[in-house]
Structure 1
Amino acid sequence: MKCAHCSLEYQENQLIKAGNLYFCCNGCKSVYEIIKSNNLDEFYKNANNLSKVEISNVDESVVFKEKIANNISQITFNIPNIHCSACVWLIEKFLLKNEAIVSININYFSKRAQVEFIDDKTSVQEILNQITKLGYKVLPLSADYNKAYKNHQKSYSKLIVAVVCVMNIMWLSIARYAGYFSSMDADIKDIINFAEFILCTPVLFYTALPMFNSAKNALKLKSLNMDCLVVGGALLAYIYSLCAMFLRLEYLYFDSVAMIICFVYAGKFLENLTKKNAIKNVDFLSDLINAEVNLIKNNEVVKSSVYEIKKGDVLRFFTGDKILFDGLCVGGKAKLNTSAITGEAKLKSVSLNSKIISSSVVYSGSCDVKTECEFKDSYIQKIANILNNTKKSNLQKLTDKISSYFCFAILFLAFICFLFNIENINEAIIRSVSVLIIACPCALALSAPVCNLCAINQALKHCILFKNANDVENLSKIKYAVFDKTGVLTSFNLKLSSYEIYSKKDILEELLSLNNHILALNIKDNLKLTKHIISNENYTQIDGKGVIYIKDNKKYFLGSAKFLKENGVNVKSFDKTEVFFADEKELLAYFVFENKINDGALELINFLKSKNIECIMLSGDKEQECKKTAQSLNITKYKAECLPTDKIDFLTSLNSKEILMIGDGINDALALKQALVSISFKQASDLAKNTSDIIILDDNLNKIKSAIRLAKRTYFTIKTNLLISLFYNLISLPLAFNGYINPLVAALFMSFSSICVILNAQRLNNFLTKEVK
């Protein structure tokens, strides 16, 4: 008798009766009542393999929590006992009944869940309790990695079993085929056939078990995938051979079944190994979950969670420690191993004032690091986010859609093939199986994701951070490159060519200490101003124009000539990059700057023009200064004195979606968001970095050129892979349909096509490295 919830078999006297229903435990009974009371009965239509429910309280410390908005938080955790898509459906539907839940994202394959919620309307504990009420366990994220390691060991075991069995079957097959020419006794043939049956069975029902599960899940969702075709063909050949063995027919295909599974599984194993190798340099990201660091506090070293560390804290790292924050060395000496990200085996020596990037490992010595950011903004965490990102590129979505329809078409073709050869049942089965196996859409489905993974990995090694696989595809299609001027094409370190301070230097110093604009920082450096004010409610910044500061009931202005004129202060512009300081009546100081063209800017512009990409410069600076910079860089189209909204209007006026925007400031954020692809730099404002699709982590303009080359090569490689897979099917399908290819050769061909696609994608792994050399 079955439990009404988990469907496990029990004796009637072991079950709990509730009305006309029976339950194995109170947990299952409670979950069943919760599902019924919330009108979620549809769950049971597709649910399968549910386990017995054990409800327990969950410690909320197992989840990773972060703030993503003023009153919205996000928690990430693992739900290991998700059994099918119905489980995902049930959890999402049940949680969304809570109005405080903003969004839920559950990845069925990785068992990872992300929940966004309103802080003041619900709590982490309440959300976790709701999940456990449904009978699901909640574990820390680190469980993902432990499980992945165990799964890899199981995959290796399954491959070994298949290889050993196939090798022995091959020897038996040689003996059987030799017997056709040496008049082997029928009894000996029967023994050989039975031995092949014994060896074939574990290959089909142990090695191919993941394929059976995958096929079963696809069928329950009323869909088909490549595993449906493989296991369907292999199972058909196995059943036929089993019947033929007892009927003592001449042709058996146990050897073909075992070899088909072995070759296909080996192809899958190589595919997974390729993906694993593509991200092997960041495998230690599993240690980030609940990691602790040595915080120097009140001259003492205390252990602290990485999520409690703030910008400006000083951390101490000893030999063997992983550095999890970007920062500046403020004490000690050490040698760092940076190969995890850069791939370079050479050790990097660090001492006072050395820049340190997270992901390095202390090889020897120790160092104190002053953090430049919180953990969520560190280089290593951004890489972790990319690797955990489940979003697909547009091309990958298209190939996935084609693959699903392709499976139905192949199944129909195999049925037609069977009908055509129905007069010879043996030939009909073998040809149909050959069609099913040889036409697997595996190569088609692999075309885009493997290339994108290799490209993102290659970019990371060269300090180019793609936030999404779709950005690689989009970057390859751009027709316009729009640049901000200051900080991108021209250096942050502008030369202060002339200035004059008439009065109120103390107020100017206060005002500058509150401003992080590049020009304000430059003035402070040149004047060696040291005053620092954290915040002031009388300070107002107007993006793209300037700032207003009120002190002693008197207004002060810092900004462009146009901004001061708007506020009733008449000043004379120098038609250069300039900053004016004034009160409500008169000018108090002025500063005039000269621009310095950034290294690599001219080379980048010339490269883009060679690729037929039109270059445009937008700037908030004066016409004369913009014109001078544009002429130096051979840019024919530019616009000066742009406000943030002006940049948006200009992008819209281009009447094209294929726009690349490159900027670094707060005033560029809207334009960065508007463009198809946007690029910013590590030293850019936080708003610009958060809005951008790609971040150049070493602030090198030449890396933009590398990113575009890599994107174009990746897109070309994806299209090449698609052609390989389509050409393969055009050639192989007619051969299989007409009986020129048997199932064994079909499996070889199918695996070979997948390997070709993977090897072609692997060429991207050293693409930028070869360019540098």
Structure 2
Amino acid sequence: MNQSLTPPCWHCGQPAPSGAFTARTPEGSRDACCPGCAAAIETIYGMGLDDYYRIRQDEAPAPDARRAELDLALFEIPDLLAPHCASLPDGERLQLQLSGLTCAACSWLIEKALSTQPGVSRASVNLAGMTLTVDYQGAPQARETARRIQQLGYGVSLPGDPAATAANRREHKRLLGRLILAGLGAMQAMMYSMALYIGVFDGSDAVYEWVFRLASFFVATPVVFYAGWPFFQGAWRGLRNRNLTMDTPIALALFLAWGGSLVAMFTGGSHVYFDSAAMFVFFLLISRWLEHRQRQAINAGYARLGDTLPRAVRRLSGDQAQWVSLRQVAAGDRLLLIQGDVVPVDGRIIDGQGTFDEAALTGESVPISRGLHSCLVAGARLQEGSITLQAECAADHSQIARIAEQVELASRERLDVIRDWHRIAPLFTAAVLLLAAFTLLWHWPAGPGEAFDHTLAVLVITCPCALALAVPLTLSATLGTALREGVLVASPRQLLRLPHIGGVLFDKTGTLTLGRFSLVDTQVAGEGQKADLLAIVSALEWNNPHPLAQAFRDIARNPQMTDILPDGNGITGNLQGQQWRISGAPQQARPGTTCLQLSRDGAVQLYLWLQDSIREESAAVTRALRQQGLAVRMATGDNDAAAGPVARELSLEEWRAGMKPADKTRWLKELQTTTTQMMVGDGINDAEAMLAADVSVATANATSLAQRAAGLYLLKDNLQAIPALPALARRCQRTIRQNLTWALLYNLLAVPFAVAGWIPPWAAAIGMSASSLLVTLNATRVTRWKSSSC
């Protein structure tokens, strides 16, 4: 496959489909991307200013063809590709970033084109995240993949490429500019056309009627061919690749409405419909801009997710530690970890001991001590101590990597109702053309002029604008409303499942609770005032990274404490010649609490009880869910003593403690045998269950993997939005049904009358515009929806 790259427009440099638009110049024809650029090229040459192009090209660092080759060369550099590659049993997987996609048909086209590339076993496009995942049999042929995508007319880059991010911002700004132009142009064209529709001018005012038609033409033409150019470009791209996208019927309707009006204007027809064409573009761009804005919000949400594992680690060679990339770690390597480090791979401790925060992995809120021969999983954080870890596998084979793989697989979804519309779009287009041809032949005996008017009425009244807007505009409005309520919807399909859920399974630590410890009680066991003793505790814990130490951050510390050092499972310090030590006191623990003790020269002076506080809104949220008839349950990795008080305070119907990730998933699947389930969590340990859930919600404080596993995640650090989500989903479903019913009913009722010749073109234009406007206004009603829960 040796196709050349799409040539650039001679005027603006944007991709110009070869032969679609050309400008005649003394130096020969020049490629243009649209009629506006073609007119600009001819005007510049006609005024004798052709040096403009020579000067501009001399100043350019390189022609566009060379720039394209340079872009492709980036996909041949192993060091650039490595962060985005993952090993497979029979090859490698590469993830790329895409741009320029508008619908599910674009995704299908890219997947189909890449499936024929030698060495590619599978290609999958995630439209929401605008990402492409390609599995290769052997080494990745990234350059050939990128070249094929460019030939299809789409943009491709490596994830995180600053140039691609800037290009995406420019695309969004350009789309907004097109939308504003279309809105202003549609209103202005309607002002001119309204006088023509109501018959203001009589025979003596023919010259003014001509002026109004000409004014409408000049206003609507830039709207159709500049603001509406994305639809023409998408249709041309699909036809060039022998594929009918959703843009095909839209572009056809736009061109015929504009072209038919132009013919009517010069042949003395009764009406022109430039205003209708301009309104088509405006309504369609509203939907596309809202979808593009939502896609940016989703991408921004993913961009905020930091990597769970470190990029570099200390690998021991003999007694010397050397920094290496995490990708270089292999099974058997010895890694040195010190306080604050994140465990990079699954492994076993072969030297040293430490205290680990495994809350993200197991849900256990209290850090756990691990010693010689203890097994560790990637993602745990070393809070105290230093260890030597022997890796049991490479980073891309660890438990956390396997969960990440499941997340990636789950993210490759399509929204069925939109996908089904794209499937019927070619049939709809063919039906419209057949009806138009039948109408033309039927009315031809009455005269060509009358036959053309009736045919144009059929083409205008059956424009798929209302059908095209019905679903995506409603979804975009719903997703925007969810954002306003503090929920980012990454999976619209999960959102639409919400009305059918029968139960909600909550994680405990960090979800129903804050995941932060607070001081709930103290008891003086020796001499001294409690305030003075608390000041000593605060001084000892001031620089301690341990989660329990956070409870003392707001307590004034004694500034005279010196020589503060870790001491086994505690911390010691000197104050006026006396040694003070804070350590655990498990024998004094109460249900739902952790107990610490402060000692002076070995004698206990103060006991402190700490507790992970329940979120203020948790009781109201769980109560609101129960009032909706949902069964509310809790699954946690904490022990019974810590989980029991939380479950009792929230009046939970059922709860289970000491659960590992696989246990949560198993329980969730058991519940799914009777009803649809929603999972709410925040940790890596919740990701597996969230992937298995019908609907999954991640909290604002969730780990990266939990957020990516979720179809919805909360932007505000509370749970108040959760009870309102089913009602919002029901509103979305009801609006979609209303819009689809109206759009289909309108076509079924209006088309027979248009074919029979009972509807003039001007009435067809008004009917079509009213239909699209009704769908648009009904969809935007979702934006006025208000949450009434909690």
**TM-score grouping bracket, smaller chain normalisation:** 0.5 to 0.7
The Cα offsets for residues 319-362 of structure 1, whole Å up to 9 and x where unpaired, read as xxxxxxxxxxxxxxxxxxxxxxxxxxxxxxxxxxxxxxxxxxxx
Instruction: Say which SS state the counterpart of residue 202 (structure 2) adopts.
Output: helix
Q: Distance in 1 between matches of 2:760 and 2:254?
A: 16
Q: How do residues 322-721 of structure 1 correspond to structure 2 at under 5 angstroms?
A: 392-418=414-440, 420-425=442-447, 426-493=449-516, 521-522=547-548, 531=566, 576=591, 597-621=614-638, 629-654=646-671, 655=673, 658-721=676-739
Task: Please state how far the C-alpha of 1:752 moved relative to its aligned partner.
Answer: 2.2
Contact 1:161 1:207 in 2 (8 A): no
Give CA-to-partner distance per residue, 1:499-534, whole Å, 9 cap, x none: 99xxxxxxxxxxxx9xx9x9x83488589997499x
For residues 392-450 of structure 1, the C-alpha deviation after alignment (integer angstroms, 9 at most, x for no partner) is 53333334445444443444444444455454244443333223222223222222322
Structure 1 residues 163 and 522 mapped into 2: Cα distance closer, same or farther (>3 Å)?
closer
Task: Report how far residue 652 of structure 1 moved.
Answer: 1.7
Q: Paired residue for 2:352?
A: none
Query: What RMSD over aligned residues (CA atoms) do the two structures have, in Å?
Result: 5.9
**Equivalent residues of 1:576, 1:622 under 8 A apart:** no
1:659 to partner: Cα distance: 1.2
State the one-letter code of the partner of 2:631: E
- Give 1:636 shift: 2.5
The sequence identity of aligned pairs, in percent, is 22
The 5 Å alignment of 1:90-169 reads: 92=114, 96-97=117-118, 103=123, 105=125, 114=132, 121=139, 140-141=163-164, 142-150=166-174, 152-153=176-177
Q: 1:455 Cα deviation (Å)?
A: 3.0
Q: Could you tell me how far apart the structure 1 residues matched to 2:279 and 2:740 are? A: 22
Tell me the amino acid that sits aligned with residue 696 of structure 1: L
Does structure 2 retain, via aligned residues, the 8 Å contact 1:669–1:688? yes
Structure 1 residue identity aligned to 2:483: L
Structure 2: distance between partners of 1:177 and 1:200: 18
Structure 1: segments with no counterpart, 5+ residues: 16-50, 246-250, 289-311, 314-388, 501-512, 534-557, 561-571, 582-589
* Distance in 1, Cα, partners of 2:185 & 2:611: 72
Residue 723 of structure 1: CA displacement? 3.1
C-alpha distance 154-236 of structure 1, shift in aligned 2 (>3 A): closer
The residue type paired with residue 267 of structure 1 is F
Structure 1 residue 167 displacement after superposition: 5.5
Cα distance in 2 for residues equivalent to 1:674 and 1:410:
43
Equivalent residue pairs, number: 555
Give the AA of the match of 2:622: I
Q: Which moved more, 1:642-651 or 1:427-436?
A: 427-436
In the TM superposition, what is the alpha-carbon distance from 1:270 to its structure 2 partner? 4.6
The answer to whether the 8 Å contact 1:463/1:698 transfers is yes
Contact 1:602/1:633 (CA < 8 Å) preserved in 2?
yes
Contact 2:188/2:219 (<8 A) preserved: no
**Alpha-carbon separation, structure 2, partners of 1:659 and 1:275:** 28
CA distance in 2, matches of 1:705, 1:157: 40
CA distance in 1 between partners of 2:480 and 2:151 (Å): 40
Asked if 1 retains the 8 angstrom alpha-carbon contact of 2:124 and 2:412, the reply is no
Give the whole-Å Cα distance in 1 for the aligned partners of 2:295 and 2:98.
Answer: 22
What CA distance in whole angstroms lies between the structure 2 residues aligned with 1:174 and 1:605? 60
TM superposition shift of 1:711: 3.1
Q: Map residues 60-71 of structure 1 onto 2, 5 A cutoff.
A: 60=74, 67=83
Check 1:708–1:532 CA distance in 2 against 1; reply closer, same or farther (3 A cut): farther
Check 1:65–1:270 CA distance in 2 against 1; reply closer, same or farther (3 A cut): same
Deviation at residue 204 of structure 1 after TM alignment: 6.1
* Residue identity opposite 1:252 in structure 2: G
Q: Find the counterpart in structure 1 of residue 278 from structure 2.
A: 262
What does residue 57 of structure 1 align with?
70
Find the aligned partners of 1:136 and 1:729 in 2 and give their Cα distance.
34
Pick from 173, 178, 197 the counterpart of residue 202 of structure 2.
Answer: 178
TM-score, length-normalised on structure 2?
0.55
Cα 1:67–1:465 shift into 2, 3 Å = farther
CA contact (8 A) 1:491 1:597 kept: yes
Indicate the residue corresponding to 1:46 in structure 2.
none
Pairing 1:723–2:755 present: no
Residue identity opposite 1:670 in structure 2 = E
Distance 1:444 1:607, change over 3 A: farther
Alignment match, 2:384 = none
Structure 2 CA distance for aligned equivalents of residues 134 and 739 of structure 1: 41
Q: Give the distance between the partners of 1:260 and 1:130, measured in 2 at CA.
A: 37
* Residue pair 1:725, 1:753 contacting (<8 A) in 2 also: yes
Q: Aligned residue for 1:373?
A: none
Question: Mapping of 1:160-309 within 5 angstroms?
Answer: 178-179=202-203, 196=213, 200=217, 203=220, 207-208=224-225, 210=229, 213-217=233-237, 219=239, 221=242, 223=244, 225-227=248-250, 230-231=253-254, 233-234=256-257, 237-238=260-261, 241=264, 245=267, 252-253=269-270, 255-271=271-287
For the residue of structure 2 that corresponds to 1:256, the secondary structure is coil
3-state secondary structure, aligned to 1:440 = coil
Deviation at 1:661, TM superposition (A): 0.6
**Distance (Å, rounded) in 1 between the aligned partners of 2:743 and 2:462:** 10
Q: 1:402 to 1:630 in 2, by over 3 A?
A: farther
Is the CA contact 1:65–1:76 (under 8 Å) kept in the aligned structure 2?
no
**In structure 2, C-alpha distance between the alignment counterparts of 1:234 and 1:113, rounded to whole Å:** 36
Aligned 8 A contact 2:114 2:148 in 1: no
Aligned residue identity for 2:653: T
Question: CA separation of 1:625/1:270 partners in 2, compared to 1, >3 Å: closer, same or farther?
Answer: closer
Is the Cα contact below 8 Å between 2:439 and 2:455 reproduced in 1? yes
- After superposition, the Cα gap between the structure-2 partners of 1:475 and 1:66, relative to the gap in structure 1 and judged at 3 Å, is farther
Alignment correspondent of 1:745: 763
8 Å CA contact 1:264–1:747 kept in 2: the answer is no
Q: Are the structure 2 counterparts of residues 741 and 464 from structure 1 closer, same or farther at C-alpha, using a change threshold of 3 Å? A: same
Deviation at residue 660 of structure 1 after TM alignment: 0.4
SS in 1 for 2:634: strand
Residue 482 of structure 2 aligns to which amino acid in structure 1? A
Q: Distance in 2 between matches of 1:119 and 1:222?
A: 28
Structure 1 equivalent of residue 372 of structure 2: none
Post-superposition CA distance 1:601-631 (Å, at most 9, x none): 2221222122222222223455676565444
**SS of 1:700's equivalent?**
coil
Cα deviation, residue 600, structure 1: 1.9
Change (3 A) 1:455 1:159: closer
- Any idea what SS the aligned residue of 2:652 has? coil
Structure-2 change in CA distance of 1:62 and 1:639 (3 Å): same
Whole-angstrom CA distance in 1 between matches of 2:630 and 2:617? 17
Q: Using a 3 Å threshold, how does the CA distance of structure 1 residues 152 and 624 change in structure 2: closer, same or farther?
A: closer
TM-score of the two chains, using structure 1 as the length reference? 0.56
User: Which range moved further: 224-233 or 735-744?
Assistant: 224-233
The answer to whether the 8 A contact 1:214-1:227 is kept is no
Amino acid corresponding to residue 701 of structure 1 in structure 2: L
**Segment drifting more, 572-581 vs 639-648:** 572-581
Note the C-alpha offset of 1:53. Answer: 8.0
Within 2, Cα distance between the matches of 1:730 and 1:92? 39
Contact 1:393-1:473 at 8 Å conserved across structures: no
**1: CA distance between counterparts of 2:283 and 2:148?**
41
